[in-house]
């Protein structure tokens, strides 16, 4: 089946630790995106990538880092510099012809 | 002011009711518009694109008013399964065609 997968579904982290969230897609989409969602708020863009080996900061990139070494993969690292990392993290890829984004199931990160 | 604004609701309606949501956007250069649906603790899923001429998909009708910069979604004959949060989404036209999401409108359909 074609789609976007994210792992893990739930992640617990101690303060001061870096963690990496996985995002993989087999839709052959060039563009991939990372968002975070907090209760009662819309999705906010963290980073995005239009092609392999290229990525751009979104609206709230501080404390995060990404890489795009393969078309299928766009992992997100939440660093210890991120002051309030507890959130629901969503990865998406975009079909260029329709500007439509498709989302993975998300990762819920909780900092203990 | 937020770039995309929605009434958060909740809208509590009985089964079979017709309900309408509005969404306003501030960037007049926005070119593409969508409605997504998000169930509790799940990822957003595309409900429908919104075209200038308006478009319909079964019980759902979307309208775009560029002059007033608002988008609407009409749901007829509401079902219990329509209960969800409805997200208004606008494409910000710059490198990467970034999507800007409203915070969502909560719909609760009750029997």
Q: What is the pLDDT of residue B53?
A: 84
Quick check: B51 pLDDT over 60? yes
Quick check: B88 pLDDT over 90? yes
Q: What is the pLDDT of residue A35?
A: 96
How close, in Å, is residue A58 to chain B by CA atoms? 9
Given CB atoms, is B14 within the 8 Å cutoff of chain A? no
- Between positions 33 and 72 of A, the ones with CB within 8 A of B are 33, 35, 40-45, 48, 50, 56, 58
Quick check: B20 pLDDT over 70? yes
Residues A14-68: tens digit of each pLDDT: 988 999 999 999 999 999 999 999 987 889 999 999 999 999 999 999 999 999 9
Q: What is the pLDDT of residue B94?
A: 66
Residue ranges with strand state E in chain B = 4-6, 11-14, 19-25, 33-38, 44-50, 55-57, 60-65, 70-75, 84-92, 98-101, 105-110
Contact of B95 with B70, CB cutoff 8 Å: no
Structure tokens, A111: 């900092």
Query: What value does the mean pLDDT take over residues B25-44?
Result: 90
Q: What is the pLDDT of residue A1?
A: 57
> If DSSP states are collapsed to H, E and C, what string results for chain A?
CCCEEEECCEEEECCCCCEEEEEEECCCCCEEEEEEECCCCCCEEEEEECCCCCCEECCCCCCEEECCCECCECCEEECCCCCCCCEEEEEEEEECCCCEEEECCCEEEEEC
Parallel, antiparallel or unpaired: strands A10-13 and A107-111: parallel
Higher pLDDT, A18 or B53: A18
Contact of A21 with A75, CB cutoff 8 Å: yes
Q: What is the pLDDT of residue B99?
A: 85
User: How far is the C-alpha of B91 from the C-alpha of B32, rounded, in Å?
Assistant: 5
Closest by CA to A86, choosing from A36, A29, A32, A25, is A36
Tokens 């890489």 identify what position? A67
Quick check: B92 pLDDT over 80? no
Query: What value does the mean pLDDT take over residues A88-110?
Result: 91
Classify A16 in phi/psi space as left (phi over 0), alpha (psi -120 to 50) or beta: left
Structure tokens, B70: 């608002």
Quick check: B1 pLDDT over 80? no
Tokens 């792992």 identify what position? A7
User: How far is the C-alpha of A87 from the C-alpha of B71, rounded, in Å?
Assistant: 28
Quick check: B73 pLDDT over 80? yes
In whole numbers, what is the pLDDT of chain A averaged over residues? 92
Cα end-to-end span (Å), chain A: 35
For residue A108, the chain B residue with the least C-alpha distance is: B41
Distances (CA, A) of A77 to A53, A70, B24: 16, 16, 34
For residue A37, the chain B residue with the least C-alpha distance is: B103
CB within 8 Å: A101 and B32 = no
């Amino acid at each position: 089946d074609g789609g976007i997968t994210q792992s893990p579904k739930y992640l617990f982290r101690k303060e001061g630790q870096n963690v990496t969230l996985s995002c993989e897609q087999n839709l052959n989409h060039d563009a991939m995106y990372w968002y975070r969602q907090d209760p009662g708020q819309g999705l906010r863009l963290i980073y995005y990538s239009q092609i392999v080996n290229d990525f751009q900061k979104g609206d709230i990139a501080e404390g995060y880092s990404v890489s795009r070494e393969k078309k299928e993969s766009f992992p997100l690292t939440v660093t210890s510099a991120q002051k309030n990392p507890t959130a629901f993290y969503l990865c998406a890829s975009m079909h260029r012809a329709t500007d439509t984004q498709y989302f993975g199931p998300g990762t819920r990160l909780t900092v203990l | 002011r937020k770039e995309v604004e929605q009434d958060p609701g909740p809208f509590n309606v009985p089964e079979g009711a017709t309900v309408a949501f509005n969404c306003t956007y501030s960037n007049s250069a926005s070119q593409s518009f969508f409605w997504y649906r998000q169930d509790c603790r799940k990822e957003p899923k595309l409900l429908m694109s919104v075209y200038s001429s308006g478009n319909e998909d079964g019980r759902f009708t979307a309208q775009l008013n560029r002059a007033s910069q608002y988008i609407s979604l009409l749901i007829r004959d509401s079902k219990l399964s329509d209960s969800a949060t409805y997200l208004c989404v606008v494409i910000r036209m710059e490198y990467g065609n970034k999507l800007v999401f409203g915070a969502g409108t909560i719909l609760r359909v009750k029997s």
